[in-house]
A and B are shown apart, each in its own frame.
Chain A
């Protein structure tokens, strides 16, 4: 085994008070035997005196490994180093980031708080990047782009690429360097953070319109309706949320120990660097009508399809290349084996080139202004909204 030098990880981050004071509604049996910190809290003795007599009976098996065991785990030290985390982030915090609420429902020992903090930071940075880089994206595409960068499936993929392994079953005895989650746990894996449960969810058969505005107001960060259950593949969903909560908790830990800039750099290098093809996210319904409406709204001449070239009109496999023009300016073109399809495809390409307008590859985002000595803010391009 590799030698671990505890002196290197000397920063005892969790100078929190010992548990009885912090967890009001937990059973004392589970909470008194373990403490977040090896440093005794000043008022600990007074508190222990208040514990009822049952506290002296034999302790039960703990749901997750003790925090002080983090210093002995080679896996954890290797993971810390593999992610190039700063020395300021102690191993105990990383160990806590690996304990999901489904393994340990005690919020003083699981990663729920760190993951919530991390998810807000990740979603903020991804959303501001998408908004500044593609200012004309429709809201539905914006949500899916956000999901492609920082949705639970994507974050779970990232954590697997970091080499995170799950323990077969969570418990006190497992290595603290393994992710602890249980698929059969009654505890909610991903606690519902954003959004509200809609009033109509319990009325099964009634039809309610779920428009974009209500998705923005009522639903969660990715525009999905918040309701427990009714997940298609529950096991897969639990697994993804557990793995993704580790990534979120790591970002939360970086934010709390190393600060805002470090967290932003981490999000940029691990999450925003992924390759997402936005042009594959579009599904059109009436592209020709939408393009005509767009041209009318923007004051361009109405679009007209022109046949640029063709071959094999009387054969089994013809090819038509159709361009869409507004006046004399070309908006887009498409090719297909029929004139109608080629025209619709050209309209779709023209609309995509409208929606995927980008001011440049290196856009400034609002959080760049928090750096010291930042240049004065220049307002980014703000679009008037999608074509209705």
Chain B
């Protein structure tokens, strides 16, 4: 520790970049007081916090900007959620045009140029409105469903007509006796579950509720 403390000013004189860290960072223990421990563990501020020394005189006006390495709080309204008459909207737009890199990764940062720069999209079932079904399609869907609900299940129909299963369940609901049969089948399956699986299912539902209340 002593070596490190002594060598730090010397290294900083030699190199402006943060090379001090090549020295081994060992945990230091055995300081007798909190104050001494704090003093010993004090490190120099990061370069981004230091004033701008690009020109010696007169000193340039300089705003230290160092965005936090933390999750954005919901108190910060994202750019597109700002209403049109909000002054922040114009300010962010101006900053995006003049100095795009200055905003870093905050809520108002300029979006990347292309989709390739964005993080990878996740695959999950989501709403994609096609509006491709006609009246005849609906009638056909209903006919197939009534004829043989077992073969023409919701998923099979949604694949055939290239629409979402939710549209099928609204446009062509199954006959009541088929629904009853499906429910009984599911019930029989649930009865076969042991205590561990039942408990796990219940816990999952409870966790989702806690998530929605913001408790986890």
Contacts and interface: CB of A to CB of B under 8 A. Distances in A.
Interface of A: 279-280, 282-285, 287-288, 292, 300, 302, 304-309, 321-323, 325-336, 339-341, 343-345, 348-350, 352-354, 356-359, 381
A305 B124 contact: yes
Contact of B122 (A329, A339, A349): A339
19 contacts: A283-B213, A285-B212, A305-B121, A306-B119, A307-B121, A321-B71, A327-B111, A328-B115, A329-B78, A330-B107, A331-B81, A332-B78, A335-B71, A341-B207, A345-B211, A348-B214, A352-B74, A353-B77, A381-B85
A322 B81 contact: no
B83 A307 contact: no
Interface string B52-83: 00000000000000000001101111111111
Contacts of B208: 344
Interface in B84-130: 85-86, 107, 111-112, 115, 118-122, 124, 126-128
B74 A328 contact: no
B76 to A, nearest CB: 7
B81 A354 contact: yes
Contacts of A304: 121-122, 126
Contact of A331 (B80, B83, B86, B112): B80
Q: Which of B79, B107, B124, B214 has the most CB of A within 10 A?
A: B214
A323 B119 contact: yes
Given A302-B128, A329-B111, A354-B77, 4 more contacts: A279-B214, A339-B124, A341-B207, A343-B122
A309 B120 CA distance: 10
Nearest to A301: B80
Dominant SS among interface residues on chain A: mixed
B71 A333 contact: yes
Contact of A306 (B83, B121, B213, B216): B121
A268 to B, nearest CB: 22
A237 B177 CA distance: 52
Given A284-B212, A348-B214, A357 B82 contact: yes
B122 to A, nearest CB: 5
Contacts of B216: 336
Nearest to B120: A307
The 9 closest A-B pairs by CB, nearest first: A328-B111, A352-B74, A306-B119, A353-B74, A305-B122, A284-B212, A329-B80, A308-B119, A357-B77
Contacts of A305: 121-122, 124
Given A329-B78, A335-B71, A282 B214 contact: yes
B63 to A, nearest CB: 21
A306 B123 CA distance: 9
A335 B72 CA distance: 11
Nearest to B109: A330
B127 A353 contact: no
B122 A322 contact: yes
Contacts of A321: 71
B118 A325 contact: yes
Contacts of B124: 305, 339-340, 343
A306 B81 contact: no
Contacts of A329: 78-80, 111
